[in-house]
Structure 1
Amino acid sequence: MSNRRNFLTGVGAIAGAVGAASVSKVAMAALPEPVVQTKPDTAGPLAPPTGRPYNPVVTLNGWTAPWRMKDGVKEFHLVAEPVVREMAPGFKAHLWGYNGQSPGPTIEVVEGDRVRVFVTNKLPEHTSIHWHGQRLPNGMDGVGGLTQPTIQPGKTFVYEFVARRPGTFMYHPHGDEMVQMAMGMMGFWVTHPKGRHPLIDEVDRDFVFLLNAYDIEPGAYTPKIMTMTDFNIWTFNSRVFPGIASMNVRHGDKVRIRVGNLSMTNHPMHLHGHEFVVTGTDGGPTPRSTRWHEVTTDIAVGQMRQIEFLADEEGDWAFHCHKSHHTMGAMGHDVPTMIGVDHRGVAKKISQLVPDYMVMGERGMADMGEMEMPLPDNTQKMMDGRGPFGGLEMGGMFTTVKVRRGQKRGDYADPGWFRHPQGTVAYEFGGALPEPARAGGTAPGKLPSAAGAPAAKDVEVRVRKPASGHGSH
């Protein structure tokens, strides 16, 4: 029990009984304590204090739910409730989640475990929990109205099943799903193999997190739940860069990263400096014959991917979604492109009427990261974060994998920025630049003509649009 006690102390968890109208004091005493965590820090791995041993995972900006063993059953207690999630320093959102956070705590079990999960509803409406990807009895699948009555406010339901196959799974509501998932209700589930598995290798570090997106207007605290496509907050575990923790590993470690996608679009996840293989999906571990090395893997909506790589290159390596807008903070989608437009005269006139007027986007958007432009309260910058060489101009779904020779085995502390060996950093060239060689001695911007042929004349391209509009396309 000392490991459990140290874990709870380390993450600042608070344990307490939850008052539910449907549960008497006698029955409540029979429930496992619902452990609550409100800090956004990454907790260390929770070594299993009871049950079969396994190599625990680390949840990025999250934690693993403790459990109790009762008559050979592994018992957990989840509380669905409104939460306040700090998405980045100075930026908080009013969400719905589990046990004080969005996402809820990661549940870790072992293949063959009988699991019992008590779910108490402290939301203002009914809910349920679907155990995404699990093999279980139909009545435990968690689809409100189809496989069970919904859990009404103040009530506690019990789910019980055997974790039949090892793999990477999720949990989320299946009652008013559009609203509740848009508000942040989700969590991770990992079932470890009960012994050596032919398709599941042992690793030194095992990270997990969920992808989700929100539409939170500048200055607001609560997501817009009716949004279908125009999200502006892209998150790892309901955190945005620079609020997303780095994944800190030891040089030579074999690293596994498990990612689940509960957003409304796909995400091509890209790792710098290393190649990885996809070793697991929603269906379980992948056959070895299907694995090949790559640096980007696309994760569709509702899918899970498990990647593994050998951390054999020191440095601070970016890991991010390769959709460029998904590595930005809150944006205005209707801002016109002003690149190349000289509007100094207009800006001067406007500034006479609006003293704080600023020119934006004339030379690209990088200047936005340096501006100390006033923002509404509780608004994350579009481009933020600083590294050892200046602004990173990133946000959203972005973090780093920090590989260090001096990182001790089992140590997840941030080692700080990488100290590059001399001569290994790109630098500014200080010499004279030679004139570029041009075929046939033609002037810049002109293409050489064929031998003996007259020089081609400039051609003006004219586009004639169909008179009938786009109806015949």
Structure 2
Amino acid sequence: MLSRRNFFQGAGALTAAVSAAAVSRVAMAALPEPVMQAKPDTMPPLVPGTGRPYKPVVTLNGWTLPWRMNQGVKEFHLVAEPVVRELAPGTKAHLWGYNGQSPGPTIEVVEGDRVRIFVTNKLPEHTSIHWHGQRLPNGMDGVSGLTQKSIQPGKTYVYEFVARRPGTFMYHPHADEMTQMAMGMMGFWVTHPKAKNPLIDEVDRDFCFLLNAFDIDPGAATPKIMTMLDFNLWCWNSRIFPGIDTLNVRQGDKVRIRVGNLTMTNHPIHLHGHEFMVTGTDGGPVPRTARWPEVTTDVAVGQMRQVEFLADEEGDWAFHCHKSHHTMNAMGHNVPTMIGVDHRQVVKQITKLVPDYMVMGERGMADMGEMEMPLPDNTVPMMTGQGPFGGVEMGGMFSILKVRKHQKPGDYSDPGWYRHPKGEVAFEWTGALPEPARFAAEGGQSMPRQQAAPHAEPLKVRKPSGHQGH
């Protein structure tokens, strides 16, 4: 539940000393009470009760930060602090985030809004917040040491600017970034258009989430912040499959999905069963003449992508990163390939000494999804998830777009598994296999070699001299 106690009771809710250098215009002002969230569930959209109206977004496994209006200014309060985030049922991580969660809450405003964001630092070190992609005064850009003093532990700073252009943005620290972003400090920002925009269509459903990654050893709970590339937990909004909620829509809905990437590599985000258009980036709406249909879009480091499509195909459609290692959990990078190796005699000898020994990877890695080998505490299987037809064998950056005829407008609840019409599911064939058609033009090289290949000599390994004993 959101803690809303006294949130809208005005200036008497909470007072604090604020850095005069950063908040001269609002020095000694009362702060809005910080709203906290402990659940990792997808929360319903926050319908605006004050300010300009807009159609709100839904943050996948996240929530939207409430605000108060103070003399025409939208005031928010972010608290940077250590948090415990459930990555999936059975796995929790000790992260840093905002207002009880990592990522922090989504901030939604309207083009032309004057916003004031109070930021209280409850971390063990200094911090700042950069408003990624925003047009704003240089001193509000949030780069520690360059455009402002760092926010020291226990201090509160305020950022104030006008949301000048509509679009999809994010926020994250610009102080000790390697540590703070690796620990999960980030959040989404959406600025809605104040009037009908020729490049921004109305949609029925509007989802958003951030791509992030951690390197957490099996059994551990704290990320290794020095990791550069070999991450083992690939997340959407600090959640891994099967902990990522599904995206539930009504058949015929116009759907928008906004994705931001704050990992250390790119992610080709792929949707099954539909084509979409990339309609926006953190640079703004994409001109209509520059759009083309896609089923996969690459979201590079530090980028935002906004895709839109008509959900006209009913069913349960996979939605995931197309890097196969990014749909795995708690993956070790030094597991040898043992495909085709017959372990049976060796296993008999080993199990006499180690009764719990289990062969890994003899027939491929799908065995990992069926293993009953005990896992370390606080660790989910590398491949997991049960679908209506068996094991899904996925992890990491994987979810499902659920399109249903009878999903009511505005209903984001999970409709359950899709019931396929008769004759529309692939099935085992047990009859005789027909002979394939053959054509006279089949076979042979299109451009044969002029000379026959010479007889292949056996490969010989020659070691360089002068290195004996190495």
Considering the TM-score relative to the shorter chain, is it more than 0.5?
Answer: yes
Q: Deviations over 1:339-391 (max 9, x none)?
A: 00112111111111111111110000111101111000001210011110011
Residue of structure 2 in register with 1:309 after alignment: 309
Residue of structure 1 in register with 2:23 after alignment: none
Q: How does 1:178-327 map to 2 (within 5 A)?
A: 178-327=178-327
Residue of structure 1 in register with 2:61 after alignment: 61
Q: Deviations over 1:286-307 (max 9, x none)?
A: 0000001010000000000000
SS at match of 1:35: coil
Q: Deviations over 1:390-413 (max 9, x none)?
A: 110000000011000000001000
Q: Deviations over 1:148-171 (max 9, x none)?
A: 000000000000000000000000
Q: Distance in 2 between matches of 1:434 and 1:467?
A: 55
Given that 1:22 and 1:154 are in contact with CA atoms closer than 8 Å, whether structure 2 keeps it comes out as: no
Residue of structure 2 in register with 1:168 after alignment: 168
The list of structure 1 runs, each at least 4 consecutive aligned residues, that deviate by more than 2 angstroms after superposition, is: 11-24, 26-29, 432-440, 456-469
User: Alpha carbons of 1:181 and 1:423: their partners in 2 closer, same or farther (altered >3 Å)?
Assistant: same
Q: Distance in 2 between matches of 1:428 and 1:244?
A: 31
Instruction: Read off the aligned partner of 2:225 and give its amino acid letter.
Output: I
Q: Distance in 1 between matches of 2:321 and 2:457?
A: 38
Q: Please tell me whether residue 102 in structure 1 is matched to residue 113 in structure 2.
A: no
SS at match of 2:269: strand
User: Alpha carbons of 1:18 and 1:89: their partners in 2 closer, same or farther (altered >3 Å)?
Assistant: farther
Q: Distance in 2 between matches of 1:387 and 1:351?
A: 33
Given that 2:14 and 2:30 are in contact with CA atoms closer than 8 Å, whether structure 1 keeps it comes out as: no
Given that 2:15 and 2:31 are in contact with CA atoms closer than 8 Å, whether structure 1 keeps it comes out as: no
Given that 2:240 and 2:398 are in contact with CA atoms closer than 8 Å, whether structure 1 keeps it comes out as: yes
Residue 13 of structure 1, CA deviation: 3.8
Q: Which runs of 5+ in 2 are unaligned?
A: 7-12, 21-25, 446-451, 466-470
Instruction: Read off the aligned partner of 2:240 and give its amino acid letter.
Output: V
Instruction: Read off the aligned partner of 1:419 and give its amino acid letter.
Output: R
SS at match of 1:352: helix
Residue of structure 2 in register with 1:397 after alignment: 397
Q: Which runs of 5+ in 1 are unaligned?
A: 1-10, 441-446, 450-455
Instruction: Read off the aligned partner of 1:63 and give its amino acid letter.
Output: W
Q: Distance in 2 between matches of 1:263 and 1:461?
A: 48
Say which is worse superposed, 263-272 or 14-23, in terms of deviation: 14-23
Instruction: Read off the aligned partner of 2:126 and give its amino acid letter.
Output: H
SS at match of 1:181: helix
Say which is worse superposed, 430-439 or 265-274, in terms of deviation: 430-439
Residue of structure 2 in register with 1:118 after alignment: 118
Q: Distance in 1 between matches of 2:30 and 2:289?
A: 48
Given that 2:17 and 2:28 are in contact with CA atoms closer than 8 Å, whether structure 1 keeps it comes out as: no
Instruction: Read off the aligned partner of 1:103 and give its amino acid letter.
Output: P
Residue of structure 1 in register with 2:10 after alignment: none
Residue of structure 2 in register with 1:3 after alignment: none
Given that 1:327 and 1:397 are in contact with CA atoms closer than 8 Å, whether structure 2 keeps it comes out as: yes
Residue of structure 1 in register with 2:41 after alignment: 41
Q: Distance in 2 between matches of 1:461 and 1:94?
A: 58
User: Alpha carbons of 1:191 and 1:332: their partners in 2 closer, same or farther (altered >3 Å)?
Assistant: same
SS at match of 2:180: helix
Q: Please tell me whether residue 379 in structure 1 is matched to residue 379 in structure 2.
A: yes
Q: Distance in 1 between matches of 2:223 and 2:237?
A: 15
Residue of structure 2 in register with 1:8 after alignment: none
SS at match of 2:74: strand
Instruction: Read off the aligned partner of 1:426 and give its amino acid letter.
Output: A
Given that 2:320 and 2:327 are in contact with CA atoms closer than 8 Å, whether structure 1 keeps it comes out as: yes
Residue of structure 2 in register with 1:128 after alignment: 128
Residue 448 of structure 1, CA deviation: 8.7
User: Alpha carbons of 1:463 and 1:105: their partners in 2 closer, same or farther (altered >3 Å)?
Assistant: farther
Instruction: Read off the aligned partner of 1:104 and give its amino acid letter.
Output: G
Q: TM-score, normalised by structure 1?
A: 0.90
Residue of structure 1 in register with 2:350 after alignment: 350
Q: Distance in 1 between matches of 2:14 and 2:341?
A: 60
Residue 196 of structure 1, CA deviation: 0.1
Q: Please tell me whether residue 79 in structure 1 is matched to residue 79 in structure 2.
A: yes
Q: Distance in 1 between matches of 2:41 and 2:4?
A: 15
User: Alpha carbons of 1:54 and 1:86: their partners in 2 closer, same or farther (altered >3 Å)?
Assistant: same
User: Alpha carbons of 1:140 and 1:340: their partners in 2 closer, same or farther (altered >3 Å)?
Assistant: same
Given that 2:37 and 2:101 are in contact with CA atoms closer than 8 Å, whether structure 1 keeps it comes out as: yes
SS at match of 2:293: coil
Residue 28 of structure 1, CA deviation: 8.0
Instruction: Read off the aligned partner of 1:124 and give its amino acid letter.
Output: P
Residue of structure 1 in register with 2:468 after alignment: none
Residue of structure 2 in register with 1:452 after alignment: none
Given that 1:14 and 1:37 are in contact with CA atoms closer than 8 Å, whether structure 2 keeps it comes out as: no
Q: Distance in 2 between matches of 1:207 and 1:57?
A: 6
Q: How many residues were matched structurally? A: 446
Q: Say what the alpha-carbon RMSD is for the aligned residues.
A: 2.5
Instruction: Read off the aligned partner of 2:324 and give its amino acid letter.
Output: S
Q: How does 1:418-433 map to 2 (within 5 A)?
A: 418-433=418-433
Instruction: Read off the aligned partner of 2:411 and give its amino acid letter.
Output: D
Q: TM-score, normalised by structure 2?
A: 0.90
Q: Distance in 2 between matches of 1:382 and 1:232?
A: 9
Say which is worse superposed, 231-240 or 344-353, in terms of deviation: 344-353
Q: Distance in 1 between matches of 2:14 and 2:182?
A: 25
User: Alpha carbons of 1:457 and 1:439: their partners in 2 closer, same or farther (altered >3 Å)?
Assistant: farther
User: Alpha carbons of 1:157 and 1:357: their partners in 2 closer, same or farther (altered >3 Å)?
Assistant: same
